[in-house]
Structure 1
């Protein structure tokens, strides 16, 4: 017995529409919730793929090295190649596990590479699915604004030499909040392109060698490269290459050619997720 993907009425474009909320592992198996973190530069993303190492395969192999009979792990979201994760919920189904869930993080630390870690684990509540039960996902994109690049920031942030107009960026971001068709910011997307963007905010903090500019992006789900397209567009606004008011016009056009470039994955982090139907789970510090 395996989970079935919930189906949506094609005429119902609201991503918050009702859908099945109860999932179950195969009979006789135990579903375990993991919180996974990784440094993504060595991986082709979370999802298993034939031409590059993946976090999913790396975690699955580590569970096997512990002698556990396990299904393939399932995460709250699929990340692009090079994207990092601070706190990614994932579940795995175990058959007659010999290791208690709460001891899995320590056991896995001995068999996982340094680039991947399991921060904590617990038995998943009844009906839980890491991907399909998720109601909110949060990403962050980090920029380094400094006269020169910093070697310790390589692969972890996008270097921007000139100062950015954060007020203009936040003004443009405000026009993107809400339920919209985000086709103008997606790449080669064959799914329906209506999504609800719950938060898009630009903040800054000083560093000893420049400044950290972070773009926080929160929604239930995202299109392919949508976050990177949003960030690229807002950077163009911050650089004065694009008037803030024009971003709303780009959104309405649904024309990908009018929006900014997809920024590199280096500065992108999956920060956390929420599950509204499962209040007993760990809080992920997402602001309401």
Structure 2
């Protein structure tokens, strides 16, 4: 039976989601817990990579198990107890055999959090800025993103991806009325490595008045990473949601 596991993590202590040599990863940590319980090597495959230090309020991974749903739920409960405090497994749901955590996803949503105020209980989880940003100008620039598909200008250089084509569905800034934080939300069918942080860093240049929305558009059109702004720090970026077609999910009863 194939299942989707829903989980969250604070990425501060990890080199990212994906297993890699000589560095701790979220994927490896979860696989180790599952393998310990099942007493055999157990692999999971996530909806995508997150950079070192990036967090996830909702990551999805698929796993194949010779277990019924109740047994699978018990496995997740036991594995969650073995995991460190910065990783949490929330639920497991059955899906059709061809469902794939990465390739079946139709949308991924990230958010970036910025605060002007000192936040003693979240200082390592949001970006503190010491100057104002022009939200209207940044939103004017962000609204251009759905009109483009090639995001080479915001991609990490020398990666192994076959295409830099992405389809952005929405991108906007808003101020949270409760916390006062400035929050950037972006949803797309897929993202390139470092893409969201590069977009945010370039939009900061627009918000500071160093770049116009028209300049932002020209940066994208140039397909040249050197023309974009520096990447925003990783610690304020969160994978918020991964969306899938409803027909992938099997009944829970």
TM-score of the superposed pair, with normalisation by structure 2: 0.91
Return closer, same or farther for 1:206/1:32 CA change in 2, 3 Å cut-off.
Answer: same
Q: How far apart in 2 are the matches of 1:110 and 1:226?
A: 34
Q: 2:212 aligns with which of 231, 243, 264?
A: 243
In structure 1, C-alpha distance between the alignment counterparts of 2:113 and 2:51, rounded to whole Å: 16
- Which of 164, 175, 179 is 1:204 aligned to? 175
Q: Distance in 2 between matches of 1:152 and 1:278?
A: 41
User: In structure 2, what is the equivalent of residue 158 of structure 1?
Assistant: 127
RMSD, aligned α-carbons: 2.1
Match of 1:129 in 2: 100
Partner Cα distance (2:75, 2:235) in 1: 29
Q: Which runs of 5+ in 2 are unaligned?
A: none
Cα shift at 1:101: 2.0
Secondary structure of residue in 1 paired with 2:210 = coil
**In 2: Cα distance, 1:41 partner to 1:213 partner:** 21
* Kept in 2: contact 1:71–1:94 (CA 8 A): no
Provide the residue aligned with 1:72 in structure 2: 43
Q: Which has the higher contact order (CA 8 A, sep 6+)?
A: 2
Residues 42 and 82 of structure 1 are in contact (CA less than 8 Å); yes or no, is this contact kept in structure 2?
Answer: yes
Corresponding residue for residue 172 of structure 1: 141
Q: Where is the helix percentage greater, Structure 1 or Structure 2?
A: 2
Does residue 142 (structure 1) correspond to residue 113 (structure 2)? The answer is yes
Which residue number in structure 2 is paired with residue 26 of structure 1? none
Alignment of 1:16-95 (within 5 A): 30-67=1-38, 69=40, 71-95=42-66
Q: Does 1:264 pair with 2:233?
A: yes
TM-score by length of 1: 0.80
Structure 1 stretches of 4+ with a deviation exceeding 3 A read 68-71, 95-99, 279-282
Determine if contact 1:69/1:95 at 8 Å carries over to the other structure. Answer: no
Q: Secondary structure at the match of 2:59?
A: strand
Displacement of 1:262 in angstroms is 0.4
1-side partners of 2:69 and 2:175: how far apart? 47
Name the stretch that deviates more: 273-282 or 251-260. 273-282
CA gap of 1:274–1:70, structure 2 versus 1, over 3 A, is farther
Contact 2:109 2:241 in 1 (8 A): yes
Whole-Å Cα distance in 2 between the matches of residues 96 and 267 of structure 1?
37
Unmatched tracts of structure 1, length 5 or more: 1-29, 283-288
In the alignment, the residues of structure 2 paired with residue 97 and residue 38 of structure 1 have an alpha-carbon distance, to the nearest angstrom, of 26
- The within-5 A match list for 1:249-288 is 249-276=218-245, 278=247, 280=249
For residue 153 of structure 1, report the CA deviation from its aligned partner. Answer: 2.2
Deviations along 1:213-251, one digit per CA (max 9) or x if unpaired, are: 111111011111111010001111111121122111111
- Residue 240 of structure 1 aligns to a residue whose secondary structure is coil
Q: How many aligned positions are there? A: 249
